[in-house]
């Protein structure tokens, strides 16, 4: 529980939890991931050591990952984990979300209009809204760069876009 009290102890607990919960969440995600792969690997069948089946190796890797993730979780709970991580304090979320959305938009557009037409708005959005370039360079580069890359990959490297 996050403490809402205004006493010094309450503030310390609050700050401590605020610093710790991202690490806890990360550990839980890892535990969940390795557990799900362990279960899937188990269901694939393990065979015997003399003739291992398809699931044995992924199960071993999952168990190793799971054990290590649980150990990391324990270090976080004990407060002895590496606290040097920069986390997300300096992240500008707007440009980051625009970046991801632009690439997803490109992937959605590509089957409809092909590489060249989809790459122009992608480059423009990345330059203007994610990277914060000014209008004229954004327009100029988003028209020139995709054409240049299209030429290099299509004509020189024989890639079929």
The phi, psi pair for 145, rounded to 5°, reads -60, -50
Q: Which is nearer to other proteins, 10 or 132 (CB)?
A: 132
In the complex, the smallest distance separating the C-beta of residue 23 from other proteins, rounded to whole angstroms, is 7
In the complex, the smallest distance separating the C-beta of residue 31 from other proteins, rounded to whole angstroms, is 11
In the complex, the smallest distance separating the C-beta of residue 2 from other proteins, rounded to whole angstroms, is 19
For 120, other C-beta atoms within 10 Å of its C-beta total 20
Q: Contact, 59 vs 47, CB < 8 A?
A: no
Q: Which is nearer to other proteins, 85 or 117 (CB)?
A: 85
The phi, psi pair for 51, rounded to 5°, reads -145, 80
DSSP string, 25-40: HHHHHHHHHHHHHHHH
The burial of 119, by beta-carbon neighbours within 10 Å (0-12 exposed, 13-18 middle, 19 or more buried), is given as: buried
Q: Which is nearer to other proteins, 1 or 112 (CB)?
A: 112
Q: Which is nearer to other proteins, 1 or 157 (CB)?
A: 157
In the complex, the smallest distance separating the C-beta of residue 123 from other proteins, rounded to whole angstroms, is 6
């Amino acid at each position: 529980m996050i403490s809402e009290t205004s006493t010094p102890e309450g503030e310390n607990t609050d700050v401590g939890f605020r610093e710790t919960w991202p690490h806890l969440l990360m550990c839980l995600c890892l535990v969940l991931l390795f557990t799900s792969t362990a279960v899937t690997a188990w269901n694939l069948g393990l065979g015997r050591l003399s003739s291992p089946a398809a699931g044995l190796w992924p199960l071993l890797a999952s168990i190793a990952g799971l054990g290590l993730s649980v150990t990391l979780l324990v270090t976080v709970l004990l407060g002895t984990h590496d606290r040097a991580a920069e986390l997300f304090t300096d992240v500008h979320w707007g440009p980051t979300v625009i970046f991801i959305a632009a690439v997803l938009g490109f992937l959605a557009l590509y089957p409809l209009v092909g590489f060249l037409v989809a790459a122009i708005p992608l480059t423009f959005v990345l330059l203007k809204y994610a990277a914060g370039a000014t209008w004229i360079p954004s327009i100029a580069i988003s028209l020139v760069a995709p054409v240049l890359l299209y030429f290099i990959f299509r004509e020189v490297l024989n890639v079929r876009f």
